[in-house]
Structure formats: C-alpha cells, structure tokens
Amino acid sequence: MTSSISLQHNQTQPVLAMHQVSKLYGEGSGRVAALDEVSVAIPRGGFTAIMGPSGSGKSTFMNVAAGLDDATSGEVVLAGQPLSKLGDEGRTVLRREQVGFVFQAFNLVPTLSALENILLPFDLAGRKVTAEQRQWIDQLVHTLGLAERIDHRPSELSGGQQQRVAIARALASQPAIIFADEPTGNLDSRSSREVLTLLRTASREYGQTIAMVSHDPVAASYADRILVIADGRIVGDHGPLTPQQISDLLIGFEIGAPA
C-alpha cells in the first residue's frame, strides 16, 4: 500500500523500467536468448503495443516485465519495485496490487461468476470495495454491456463477453499497469474492435497505463506507441502508425532478418 502512495507522489517515474534485461533458455551451445539486453521505459498513462513476429520474444518480454517469469540478468523495476529483490510472495502481492492482466484466452476463473471475477483482485488483497470504486465498477460493467450477464459463469458467456469481463477486472482496481497478451487473438473482428477501442479509451480518458503484446497490425494501430521486437531485441520504437505502416514495418523485418 505504501508503495502505491509514494508512487502517486512521483508521477515522473516510469511505471515499468527495464535495464539490460536478458532472458536465456537452455544450456551451452543450445542457449537461446529470448530477450537480449533489452532496456526500455514505459511512462505512466500510455498505450504501448509490443509487436514482433512469432518467436521474437514479445511474450517473454511481457512475462518478465510483469514478474511472471525471472530475468536471467538485468533489472526490471515495476511500479517502483525492483523485481529481483522480491521473492515469489512479494511478486505475487505486487501483481495483485499493481498489475492487471488480459490474456488471449482462459482469462476467467470458471467457478466464479462474472462479477466475482471482476472483484477477485479486491478479495485477494482483502480490500473492501469503497463506494467510489463500486461506482467505477458499475460504470465499467455498464459501458462494457455486461450488466445483464454479471451473475453468469464464464462458460455461459461468449468469447467476446469473457474478454470484456477480463478487461473490466483489469480496469476495476485501477492498477499501475495492465498487460494484455494478444487480447483479441480469439475474437471476431467486431468484438476485436470493441475491445481495442475500450483499451484506447481507458488509456486516453482514465490515464490507464497499458502494455499490449500483439502481432496484429490492426490491433497495434490503436496504440500510441509501438515497440518492435525481433530476435529478443527492441529494433523499433515508433509513435502511432496506421495498420498499413505497421504491416510494412513488420514485413521489412521479416525479409531483412538474416536466415
């Protein structure tokens, strides 16, 4: 709790800072660097897309940045806390309090209703939902068109509805950062558009920091910053681009990459 208060006093500090972070898999000659000395900072309030071809290391980037996986070397500072100094318990609590997640699939706990899923981060932290937060959650549920399905179990919701519940959960506790891993990967194009618009709105209107991993140029075009990863390195750092520009950029990397 104290960390989040001190953070609010320090608005200039980035939410996520990575210094020379590497993540290596395997041993000896079979050793592969999924992340190769990556340094990057994500400031408060932006919507960043992390792009790259399959196997480029973008998912590893998210896992390491969110404290789901250990870096082999280097330092990740998430919401003001250096992850290497935290044990499993400390990182779990940090995720619970400062990080929201939206995954490609299997976002919701099957035995909990939509509302219970949304409230899970509060329950886990043992926090009471204040009147103000309750109002925010009601507003989210209403905006996301979930009001009528709120007591349903995930298996009774469509893929798009499940994804929207996951987004509501991530936004509900107003975490320092939301990590979204291919959030539209399983959705039809209409649901995709809805979800992406929602993320952009959350970032623009509520100042929510969002980092979204995607390989889809259309999805990335909703972001206001685009990081391109290839072979475990950040090879591009751009402002907002059109889907066409992003597509060209990616094709350029794929063709240009040494065989």
Partner 1 sequence: MNARNLTLGSLRELGTVGLVAGLCGAYAATLIMAASMLGALDDGSGSGADAMLTVVASVFIGIALYVGTVVIINAVDTVISGRLRHIALLRLLGSSARSLRRSVMRSTVTVGAVGAAAGLLAGTALADVVRIVLVSRGTMPKGDYPLVSPQLAVAFVLIAASAMVAGWLGSRVVLGVSPATALAGTTAYRRAPLRKSVLRAVLAVLFLGGGFAVLGLGAMVGESSEMGFFIAFLGSVASATGLLIGARFVIPRVVSMFSRLLGGDPSSRIARRNAVLDPLRTTRSTMGLVIGVTLVTTFASGMRALSDSVSSWDLDPEQAAMARQVLSVASTVLICIIVISSIIAAVGFVSTMSLTVLQRHREIGLLRALGFTRSQVRTMITKESVALSASAVLFGIALGLVYGTLGAQSLVGVMTTGLVWGLPLPALIVIALAGLVLVLVSSRRPARRAVAVTPVEALRIEA
Which residues are at the interface with partner 1 (CB under 8 A)?
63, 66, 68-69, 88-89, 92-93, 95-97, 101, 103-112, 116, 120-121, 123-126, 153-155, 159, 162, 182, 185-186
**CA angle 84–43–174, rounded 5-degree value:** 85
Whether 75 contacts 197, CB under 8 Å: no
Rounded to 5 degrees, what angle do the CA atoms 178, 160, 167 make? 20
d(CA 143, CA 145): 5
59/208 with CB nearer partner 1: 59
Name the minimum Å distance from CB 105 to partner 1: 5
Which C-beta is closer to partner 1: that of 37 or that of 69? 69
| Least distance (Å) between residue 195 CB and partner 1 | 15
Q: Please tell me what DSSP assigns to residue 84.
A: G
Please report how close the Cβ of residue 4 comes to partner 1 at its closest, in angstroms.
14
In order of 83, 171, 205, the CA distances from 165 in angstroms are 28, 10, 19
Nearer CB in complex with partner 1: 109/257: 109
Beta bridge partners of 111: none
* Residue placing its CB nearer to partner 1 in the complex, 172 or 249: 172
